[in-house]
Structure 1
Amino acid sequence: MKPERPSFSVVAERRFRLAGKAIIERHNPYFLPVDRQREICERNGIPFISFAHYDYLGLSQHPDVIETSSAELHRLGSGVGASRLVGGERSGHRAFETELAEFLGVGDVMTLVSGYLVNVSLINFLMGPRDLVLIDELAHNSIFVGAKNGRYEYRTFDHNNLDDLERQLEECRGEYRNVLVVVEGLYSMDGDIPDLPRLVEMKEKHDAWLLVDEAHSYGVLGETGRGLCEHFGIDPRRIELGVGTLSKSFVSSGGFVCADKSVIDWLRFCLPGFVYSVGLSPATLGAAQGALTHLKANPQRVARLHENSLFFRDHARDCGLNTGDAIGCGVVPILFATPEQTMIVSQTLLDAGIYAPPIVQVGVPKDLPRIRFFISAEHTRDQMEKTIGLIAEIVASFDGADAEPRPAIAGA
């Protein structure tokens, strides 16, 4: 008699438990309805502060951005109805891509409906048999998903360890037709950056291609927010491929590819994630256009973001908190000893109206739990001091025995 096969729901339950269900059984800090939480805080006389959203330039509620998005919605409707290749595009698609390419200093730009989809689709499409992809071990999940689905070999190198990368290139470059090196412009879990000048020198020496995922660095790094190349003073055209997102500094949604114009012209007809996906909706495109226009006219927002980020990192370190290798630009993590401590800190912050969810087992090693703080140009010095002071108090109260998580604000 065959053993009874477990149901789909039973299998899902087992995998959920293995993924860390026990940590959140008594209190779940995830999937919080943020608008309702804000209303609850205000009703209780508690100012609501969010460090959970990557609105680096503080533009998501800006009247200019909302107006531009709303105008496109009313002018063109809610959707574009098809892939741009087979259903045509709107004039705003190409106009925005051209303006964004000029701003970033690259040959051309092509937008896609999902930032995650860009990496999954692009790497797998470009690379083939007898090719190699070398990826920083802390690169985004979308990069690894793209790499694992390909017909090529992929390997990792130690995070930001370019000696390890150089060793691998020297040992195996001759065995492969094409080699693609993949890094991020600003690592979203650690807030650190790669040594781009050495990367460029290395990839040119070994005749490799370089892809820089600047999802978190466009709008953040550089004097005017043009990203990692501006931060280091390097011509962006020396980078074969750039990847960005519209969901962060451009407060919209979707992603984009930067490359030489001839490459983008080719990808418009061939890249699966573009050819077989719908184009950006008018409201989405309008919001991104409004954010780009505002950023170009107001570079002081980038300067204010830099000032806030450095203050947050330095003040946290002065209070004895562990911010790892963060450079203090946009993303600043605070690391804790255990997942339980991380959950307690996050929950206590929420009780005080400060939204900063814990990261304990997704996207980071299990022994390096943290709360990741996204700093905005709109955060005030008082908000940052209040947050760091409260965290320092909680950490000082830990005596080796973790307390039980408490419920969040009543009604949350």
Structure 2
Amino acid sequence: MNLVDYADRRFRFAGREVLGQVKHFMGSVDQLPQHDGHRPVSFGNYDYLGLSTDSRIRAAASEAALTQGVGVSASRLIGGERDFHAALEAELADFIGTEGTLCLVSGYLTNLTVIGHLLGARDLLLIDELSHNSIVAGSVGSRATTHIFKHNDLNDLERILTEARPQYGRCLIVVEGLYSMDGDIPDLPRLLEIKQRHDAWLLVDEAHSIGVLGATGRGLCEHWAVNPYEIDLIIGTLSKAFGACGGFVAAAKPVLDWLHYTLPGFVFSVGMSPPLAAGVRTAIDIVRIEPWRVEALHDNSRHFVMTAREFGLDLGPATGHGVVPVFFRDNMETVASANALLADGFYCPPIVQVGVPRDQPRLRFFLSTQHSHAEIDQALEIVAGTISGIRTAHEPVLTAIAVGD
């Protein structure tokens, strides 16, 4: 079988017939149809703090590109450090509250390379069953024995540790600060107690929780009033709340010293570009001096959850922080709701087939400081109305089938 036939077959198995019918997928957001002369209101982009188009960030990135170029042309280990790298990492560490950080060019790469690098063949790795693909890929690349515990079920985690931990040397537990598909968070204080009692390390992927959780957006630790020094490794991205691109590791200085010289994704990859670093530094400054952004996000999140529940929508386990899914019975309801939203000027792509179980399709609403309560209300009314219309239309058929039986 040649590669073309193989790819065609694999795509078919992956659900090509369903995916190909969803017009949101791989479509140009620059060419979305206007509604009443305006571009659609987006609930599909994780611009939590409304910084992706901020003029101050654009100006900082433009100035860096003009004065320092758009790339650094080498890995930092071989090509040498740039002053802006150290400045960015220091500001990130200060914002998060850790001893230091190390920046990489991709958030996905950061999880992949760190998790694959930490453990050896005699070690144990435990990951949540709903972990992001970058965590799963990192576990596949690790030589450690991997166990998967039930989502956010720390009793199950403890059961596995009790049974398996004595058989291994080092042990790493990996969780996310905010699970982007389900919108829920882990119990950090209990996780810390478990990791201490079982002599394990804890890695928290804060891709979606930095800028979102906590009174000032410092993440999961601020939300739970925990000292970040108690967590062994914090992974984050620069593409969510900070509106740019890239990833980082936050840890104690001896850990970062070791990673500087040994982490494959850092040693064998180019350093972050000047425009991105300048943009993120400016974003951090804005978050510090404009605390209203985090407050507005929290207010919109609470309003979304309250209104959605009034409409009787299924939010699953979501806690109402930044990203909230709405669950549907099947793909038809999901896609129809997404299409109805788009027709009325709202962009919220359906999540079917890719990244979630096939029997749990959903619309994933990313909330932002830029959304108004009126926009949230209107979008949820459209979804509720679409669901009601579909179920009402099918009810006579289902009733007839039941009577016939």
Structure 2 length-normalised TM: 0.95
* Structure 2 residue 384 is matched with structure 1 residue 392: yes
Matches for 1:10-409 after TM superposition, within 5 Å = 10-37=5-32, 40-41=33-34, 45-399=37-391
Give, in whole Å, the separation in 2 of the partners of 1:25 and 1:143: 27
Q: Secondary structure at the match of 2:15?
A: helix
Letter in 1 for 2:232: E
Shift of 1:159: 0.4
**CA spacing shift, 1:121–1:21, aligned 2, 3 Å:** same
Letter in 2 for 1:172: A
The answer for the alignment partner of 2:3 in structure 1 is 8
Shift of 1:41: 0.3
Shift of 1:69: 1.1
- Aligned partners of 1:113 and 1:253 also within 8 Å: yes
Unmatched tracts of structure 2, length 5 or more: 395-405
- Aligned partners of 1:23 and 1:340 also within 8 Å: no
Q: Deviations over 1:157-196 (max 9, x none)?
A: 0000000011111112111100100000000001000000
**Residue identity (%):** 49
Unmatched tracts of structure 1, length 5 or more: 1-5, 403-412
**CA spacing shift, 1:141–1:286, aligned 2, 3 Å:** same
Q: Secondary structure at the match of 1:382?
A: helix
- Aligned partners of 2:210 and 2:220 also within 8 Å: yes
Shift of 1:401: 6.5
Letter in 1 for 2:265: G
Give, in whole Å, the separation in 1 of the partners of 2:376 and 2:230: 38
Give, in whole Å, the separation in 2 of the partners of 1:29 and 1:111: 32
Q: Secondary structure at the match of 2:179?
A: coil
Shift of 1:369: 0.3
Letter in 1 for 2:235: V
Q: Secondary structure at the match of 1:326?
A: coil
Task: Report how many residues are paired.
Answer: 394
Shift of 1:18: 1.2
Give, in whole Å, the separation in 1 of the partners of 2:174 and 2:212: 20
Give, in whole Å, the separation in 1 of the partners of 2:210 and 2:45: 15
Give, in whole Å, the separation in 1 of the partners of 2:46 and 2:310: 25
CA RMSD of aligned residues (A): 1.2
Shift of 1:314: 1.4
Give, in whole Å, the separation in 2 of the partners of 1:328 and 1:113: 30
Give, in whole Å, the separation in 1 of the partners of 2:90 and 2:393: 57
Q: Secondary structure at the match of 2:181?
A: coil
Give, in whole Å, the separation in 2 of the partners of 1:264 and 1:150: 19
Give, in whole Å, the separation in 2 of the partners of 1:11 and 1:400: 42
Letter in 1 for 2:375: Q
The answer for the alignment partner of 1:410 in structure 2 is none
- Aligned partners of 1:46 and 1:352 also within 8 Å: no
Shift of 1:89: 2.3
The answer for the alignment partner of 1:3 in structure 2 is none
**CA spacing shift, 1:26–1:171, aligned 2, 3 Å:** closer
- Aligned partners of 1:80 and 1:89 also within 8 Å: no
- Aligned partners of 2:19 and 2:353 also within 8 Å: no
Give, in whole Å, the separation in 1 of the partners of 2:392 and 2:21: 20
Q: Secondary structure at the match of 1:189?
A: coil
Give, in whole Å, the separation in 2 of the partners of 1:400 and 1:364: 27
